[in-house]
């Protein structure tokens, strides 16, 4: 399930709900991303999405992940709007028969979300506003999935 929300969420509750009623799933991996304060340089993060388009684009990559890693299920919850340091921005959960597929699919989905999913992120701090763009490391991270088979 792909969800955007402008409300804070509790990652533990999401994992509990995601784990329920699975008799054939041997492994669930999750990732939770938090907003960093950057030692006071970031007072608030603001995430913008393109409603409808953003969910569908993430849905396409989710379909790829399902097929590539043989997932039983996955969940992506992403915040939009204003986010304070320490709050969760993103939660990804993947369910598979075995751990390797679950770990890798979670990693794959996060690399995609960092630099290819339709979100725009603005950092506000004492020095003013700054739009964040993907770093070289983010591009290198996603390239790993394009070179392996």
**Site of interaction with another protein (CB under 8 A):** 33, 47-48, 50, 52-53, 56, 78, 89-90, 110, 113-122, 129, 131-134, 138
Considering beta carbons, is residue 95 or 123 the nearer one to another protein? Answer: 123
Closest Cα partner for 147 from 139, 31, 114?
139
Cα 99 from Cα 94, distance rounded (Å)? 10
The least CB distance from residue 98 to another protein, in Å, is: 25
Closest Cα partner for 149 from 115, 117, 104, 109?
104
The least CB distance from residue 63 to another protein, in Å, is: 16
The least CB distance from residue 75 to another protein, in Å, is: 15
- Contact between 74 and 18 under an 8 Å Cβ cutoff? The reply is no
Considering beta carbons, is residue 72 or 106 the nearer one to another protein? Answer: 106
Kindly give the pairing relationship between strand 2-5 and strand 44-49: unpaired
Considering beta carbons, is residue 97 or 110 the nearer one to another protein? Answer: 110
- Beta-carbon contacts of 101 under 8 Å, excluding residues fewer than 6 positions away, are 27, 69, 70, 71, 94
Considering beta carbons, is residue 23 or 137 the nearer one to another protein? Answer: 137
The least CB distance from residue 49 to another protein, in Å, is: 8
The least CB distance from residue 122 to another protein, in Å, is: 8
Angle made by CA atoms 15, 123, 48, in degrees to the nearest 5: 60
φ/ψ (deg, to 5) at 48: -115, 140
Considering beta carbons, is residue 44 or 97 the nearer one to another protein? Answer: 44
């Amino acid at each position: 399930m792909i969800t955007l929300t402008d409300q804070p969420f509790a990652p533990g509750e999401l994992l509990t709900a995601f784990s329920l009623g699975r008799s054939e799933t041997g492994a669930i991996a999750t990732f939770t991303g938090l907003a960093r304060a950057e030692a006071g340089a970031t007072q608030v993060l603001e995430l913008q999405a393109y409603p409808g388009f953003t969910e569908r684009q993430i849905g396409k990559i989710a379909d790829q992940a399902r097929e590539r890693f043989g997932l039983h299920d996955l969940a992506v919850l992403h915040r939009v709007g204003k986010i304070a340091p320490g709050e969760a921005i993103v939660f990804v959960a993947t369910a598979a028969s075995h751990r390797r597929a679950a770990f890798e699919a979670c990693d794959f989905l996060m690399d995609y979300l960092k630099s290819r999913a339709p979100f725009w992120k603005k950092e506000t701090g004492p020095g003013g506003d700054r739009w964040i763009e993907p770093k070289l490391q983010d591009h290198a991270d996603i390239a790993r999935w394009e070179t392996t088979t």
